[in-house]
A and B are shown apart, each in its own frame.
Chain A
């Protein structure tokens, strides 16, 4: 292992980690407010990559709008009608929505992997000393940090952010205080899907093979990242994403024999976290009310 390869992999790890972080924010925000795993989040992410097939500068804008619409649509169609239903029904609905998006994508775009359009600005390589990195790898961490700052600004400094925090603390009381719950939830989905769309563009430049089931694994992993960081905590989600991405790349670097197990590792991390520190790294302790 030369220092050079290590540095290269370190950069890869940070970049992959920040991609995970972008998706994990979406999970953590929805979970914080609805106490629901948005199973469809990974598939919303997939949809924005797979539909990306027109000149990129127009596409990015259209994709962001379309993804946000899709996210809000899923919430309206699959989650809102069941707001007072038993938990299991809501989860089944979430799984159903995810499954529907996957099948719809298979139907519309076939299961055959497609290429992601080559966005020259993102895929060109930059030499940093002896390292050669693509622009996408290089800018992803910065994009993530800027977006994290934005999300933190929205949740902590704006009125709608205050409403979000109130809803996440106590759903019923927030409702009684006159907060428009549905609006807050819609905005949460808008933010989550917006980040997923940005993540999708960066992801596509990095892994240009696109297919309908591609959102599943990143989706599950990012949920795990959110749990690792402490579910409901935005900074924690980003931290969890970084750790997970880094752990994955390091597994490949140092134990190449175990490359086949890279997807399994995330779940092992999940189990360990849930057993050792169920609230995650930055999560608050929540007590169950009877």
Chain B
């Protein structure tokens, strides 16, 4: 009994310690005491990827809908932020071939409002798409969402007076602090965590496990599917908006559908149905992709050029990784479990509470 209590206090202490460490690292990075712009950029990108991946996991991992539309919803969020936050004075220079739509050319919104508007627009589009598409079965749903993500991109390439077409929009105001990205990531993921642990979340999981049984239990399948899909799209839109301000530029090619495969890799690695796993995987994959960049550089060892290393190798390794994960470590890092101190202690002391098949994924 005593032991248990101490353990509980220990965990609280460890949690607080972890939060302090995390916060101080970010503060140190943010005030430019440690790290450089490159590291800050990768971490910001990881935070954004974490939002989008958790939103995709909400739809794919928790509700069991195989949706591949994340890139399209991100594009909506990114473009909303781009269109409304670029200073009015800079607009004419950006839209120099096709003038900007006269109404839009007069509107400038603060970043947060544009960001939320982007999320809402993404959710609205998801709602409209979802009404017909979510009646489809798994693989049709995948193709249809992928198709819609492409349609969104094609439309954005073609409505030049609003999106500036293939040229994209430049000079999007950037954010001065990392807390914008990390703060919004914490709020968004926190919201989705609460959602998943609410009665709605239980309904989502029930749908994932067995649609027919869920329906028999009185769960309104369609309502919950549309809800999960739209909320997922909302946060993908938020992620897209953050991406726009991080890169300071958007163009349609950033949202070509293979982008969605990045998030697919992240949720497969982290575990379909695990939020903490997804967050860890976001940071691992995003920084991994950066670290792997040396594969794209020509490499010479002892004066001999190793011919294997040339542009493109990184993505080959990336896709092989996805294949290996899904073929051999289908549960990813955490499967459907969440990271907890108990799990870590069990792991450290070599005690295995249950048979864990997904552990090999940690080798990545």
Contacts and interface: CB of A to CB of B under 8 A. Distances in A.
Interface of A: 35-37, 77-78, 81-82, 85-89, 91-93, 95-97, 99-100, 102-104, 106-108, 110-111, 220, 223-224, 227, 260-261, 263-264, 266-268, 270-271, 274-275, 278, 290
A103 B315 contact: yes
Given A37-B142, A227-B140, A99 B326 contact: no
Contact of A97 (B212, B272, B315, B323): B323
B316 A104 contact: yes
Nearest to B154: A264
Nearest to B142: A91
A267 B319 contact: no
Contacts of A278: 136, 140
B326 A89 contact: yes
8 contacts: A93-B323, A100-B319, A104-B316, A108-B312, A224-B147, A227-B143, A271-B147, A274-B144
Interface of B: 60, 64, 66, 68, 132-133, 135-136, 138-140, 142-144, 146-148, 150-151, 154-155, 157-158, 212, 258, 261, 264, 268, 272, 310-313, 315-316, 318-320, 322-323, 326-327, 330
* SS class, residues of chain A in contact with chain B: helix
Contacts of B264: 92, 95
Contact of B154 (A85, A87, A261): A261
Contact of B147 (A100, A108, A220): A220
B316 A78 contact: no
A266 B146 CA distance: 12
Nearest to A258: B158
Nearest to B212: A290
Contacts of A87: 66, 138-139
Contacts of B320: 100
Contact of B319 (A77, A99, A108, A227): A99
B319 A103 contact: yes
A82 B258 CA distance: 23
Which residue among B147, B155, B157 has the maximum number of chain A CB atoms within 10 Å of its CB? B147
B-side interface mostly: helix
B66 A91 contact: yes
A95 B140 CA distance: 14
B170 to A, nearest CB: 22
A88 B261 contact: no
Contact of B316 (A107, A224, A270): A107
Nearest to A101: B319
Contacts of B150: 220, 263-264, 267
Given A78-B327, A96-B322, A110-B312, A88 B147 contact: no
Contacts of B158: 260-261
Contacts of B142: 37, 91
Contacts of A275: 132, 135
A96 B326 contact: yes
Given A37-B143, A88-B60, A100 B316 contact: yes
Contacts of A220: 143, 146-147, 150
A36 B66 CA distance: 13
B97 to A, nearest CB: 15
B313 A260 contact: no
A102 B147 contact: no
Contacts of B132: 271, 274-275
Nearest to B208: A88
Given A81-B327, A95-B261, A99-B261, A267 B212 contact: no
Contact of A93 (B66, B144, B326): B326
A107 B60 contact: no
Contact of A103 (B60, B138, B151, B316): B316
A106 B315 contact: yes
Contacts of B146: 220
A200 to B, nearest CB: 21
Nearest to B133: A271
Contacts of B139: 35-37, 87, 91
